[in-house]
Structure 1
Amino acid sequence: MDHDSTLYVGLDVHKESITVAYALGEGEVELLGKIGTTKAEVERLCKRLQSKARRVRVVYEAGPCGYGLYRQLAGKGFDCMVCAPSLIPKKPGERVKTDRRDAVKLVRALRAGDLSRVYVPTVEDEAFRDLSRAWVSAKDDLKRARQRLKAFLLSHGVRYAGRADWGPAHRRWLSTYAFDSAWQQLAFEEHRRTIEDRLAQCARLEAALREAVVNWHFYPAVLGLQTMRGVQFTTAVGMLAELGDLSRFEHPRQLMAWLGVTPSEHSSGDRRRQGSITKTGNSYARKLLVEAAWSYRHPARVSPDIQRRHEGIPKAIIDRAWDAQVRLCRRYRKLAARGKNANIAVVATARELAGFIWDISQLSMSLAVSEEAPAV
């Protein structure tokens, strides 16, 4: 056995089983079989692979099982890769899909260098992202609970005379309204109770997030991003939790492409044709980016809220945030003056905003905002 050759290993990972295929150097791809997903069985697999070659390269598709397997394999010294399933090359007309075929395909694609690596966060970053996503999920549940209550009231012809914005006046009106039927009143109270429960859950998670972010190593970037217009605590934390270490992008254009805000293109010869944005990457981060870009429709100014977020931040970051605001506001006005649809103009502004987010995040981390900076 040639122990100096590279062993390429493809894993088709499921909840209860892992199908393993491998190839030594440029040799034929062979099936090793199917194993379980427990740590002991993965340990035995590692020993078998280490006996076949000195260098082992392993790949498996990103999926719902997380990165525990990646960390276990990397801990054994393997060159492990988690690849993007949507970017795996596929032959036209290929209609047979099995675990064995998938494992073999991964080995061949890994050996050919045709796979795209997925960024694997650190354990700390993943834990913080889980907390952030729990907060987002709670806010989504609150939104749906409010929609259900509004639909319930509308179906019974109950309408609020003012603005139903869930403000103090609206909530007082809800607390005093009563149905004639005891059954309908019970259903109404349950809808209201669900909303109150979700509000309490959101408050708990937000308090935990604000407490945890101070000890997060990306906290300087969170403070730096909040100097920008449209980027408040929700956006800054959500973006960084999903994006992770922005230094992995060598150029802001790579971040724009990862967020899926670059135009699709189908060009041939002298003809260049661009279409809608690609919408690849993380959809939640892209949503936050576009929502922040809507604020640049208005003339550049520093509001009292933005001024408050500037306190304790280095002047270099504040100046860069102002440059971004001036440029992006001008960018939107120019696109609108050319007759561009508002949605198209905002997405184009969001694309440039991503570049400033990359720049200010890098600048904030390099300057390392002092611990005495004001808490968010």
Structure 2
Amino acid sequence: MKEKENTIFVGLDVHKNSIVIALADAGRDSDVRSYGTIDGDLEAVHKVVRKLQSKGSTLRFVYEAGPCGYNLYRSLTNKGFDCIVAAPSKIPRKSGDRIKNDRRDALSLARLHRSGDLTPVYVPTEEDEAMRDLTRGREDAVKALRVARQQLLAFLLRYGHRYSGKSYWSKAHWNWIAGIKMPHRAQQIMLQEYVHAVHENFERVQRLNDQIRELIPHWHLAPMVKALQALRGVSLVVASTTLAELGDLTRFSKPKQLMAYLGLVPSEH
């Protein structure tokens, strides 16, 4: 009981170059106060931690999931502190409360963490996050390839070049493109640039596919990847991308939890 009464809930509004801190003492009616703003680096955070620790309090941290990732979470938890990363979409908002600033956000996080009204996001292991970076990078490359192909076709269409063959990006299609001569040198240069962009992005996708195939056998979720591949139409890349996003499926104790996470459970109206 004494430890609970001596707990401070620390709300952190995290930005690229700064962190705004608020403190909420244990107890529903206890004080919630602004601590101030510090630099956004880990050393500045741990300096504050040491100062707060010197008062003999138990510290429980929270910050909102965002572009700064999980480095702060890992740094705090590796040192033995309790920390959650709150899901932004599930943070309770008061009706009509549209005024938003860093100080208010930090105070709200500290207060809501104390009352237990925050929903934490799943924080992947560093290995899982690294694999997710790789599979997301591949998805970015696929999107870039799609855009490059669209730009090339749009450029050709603008000057009346319509392909009448069956399959785009086949050998026959590329031979057709290679035979096109634009009337002006500037246009010919741009045609070659568009063609080069398609080839470059295609090779990028292939390189990333190869890297995924090379790294998957050494990933701790490799057995799950293999299991998913047993499903019809699920390739190694699809299986690894799915698991990189979901993480270890054993964290879902029931299939219904996984379906709810994926948004596949119908809601009641």
TM-score by length of 1: 0.68
Q: Counterpart of 2:95?
A: 92
In the TM superposition, what is the alpha-carbon distance from 1:172 to its structure 2 partner? 1.9
Higher RCO by CA contacts (8 Å cutoff, separation 6 or greater): 2
For 2:25, give the aligned amino acid: L
In the TM superposition, what is the alpha-carbon distance from 1:3 to its structure 2 partner? 8.7
1:1-376 aligned within 5 A: 5-26=6-27, 27-266=30-269
Checking the alignment, whether the CA contact within 8 Å between 1:70 and 1:80 is kept in structure 2 is yes
Number of paired residues? 266
Checking the alignment, whether the CA contact within 8 Å between 2:6 and 2:26 is kept in structure 1 is yes
User: In structure 2, the residue corresponding to 1:264 is in which secondary structure?
Assistant: coil
Distance 2:268 2:56 in 1: 43
Q: Structure 2 unaligned runs (5+)?
A: none
Checking the alignment, whether the CA contact within 8 Å between 2:24 and 2:31 is kept in structure 1 is yes
Distance 1:3 1:164 in 2: 68
Distance 1:250 1:20 in 2: 35
In the TM superposition, what is the alpha-carbon distance from 1:16 to its structure 2 partner? 0.7
For 1:124, give the aligned amino acid: E
Checking the alignment, whether the CA contact within 8 Å between 1:3 and 1:53 is kept in structure 2 is no
Checking the alignment, whether the CA contact within 8 Å between 2:5 and 2:26 is kept in structure 1 is no
Distance 1:51 1:165 in 2: 68
Checking the alignment, whether the CA contact within 8 Å between 2:8 and 2:23 is kept in structure 1 is yes
For 2:42, give the aligned amino acid: K
In the TM superposition, what is the alpha-carbon distance from 1:2 to its structure 2 partner? 7.7
For 2:15, give the aligned amino acid: H
User: In structure 2, the residue corresponding to 1:263 is in which secondary structure?
Assistant: coil
**Percent of pairs identical after alignment?**
48
TM-score by length of 2: 0.95
Which whole-Å deviations, capped at 9, do the CAs of 1:176-210 have from their partners, x for residues lacking one?
A: 22212212111111000001111111111111111
Q: Structure 1 unaligned runs (5+)?
A: 267-376
Checking the alignment, whether the CA contact within 8 Å between 1:142 and 1:199 is kept in structure 2 is yes
In the TM superposition, what is the alpha-carbon distance from 1:52 to its structure 2 partner? 3.3
Runs (4+) of structure 1 exceeding 4 A deviation are 1-4
Checking the alignment, whether the CA contact within 8 Å between 1:46 and 1:73 is kept in structure 2 is no
In the TM superposition, what is the alpha-carbon distance from 1:164 to its structure 2 partner? 4.1
Alignment root-mean-square deviation, CA: 1.6
Which whole-Å deviations, capped at 9, do the CAs of 1:152-172 have from their partners, x for residues lacking one?
A: 111111011112421222122
Distance 1:146 1:163 in 2: 16
Which whole-Å deviations, capped at 9, do the CAs of 1:200-255 have from their partners, x for residues lacking one?
A: 11111111111011100101111110010122222201100100111111111111
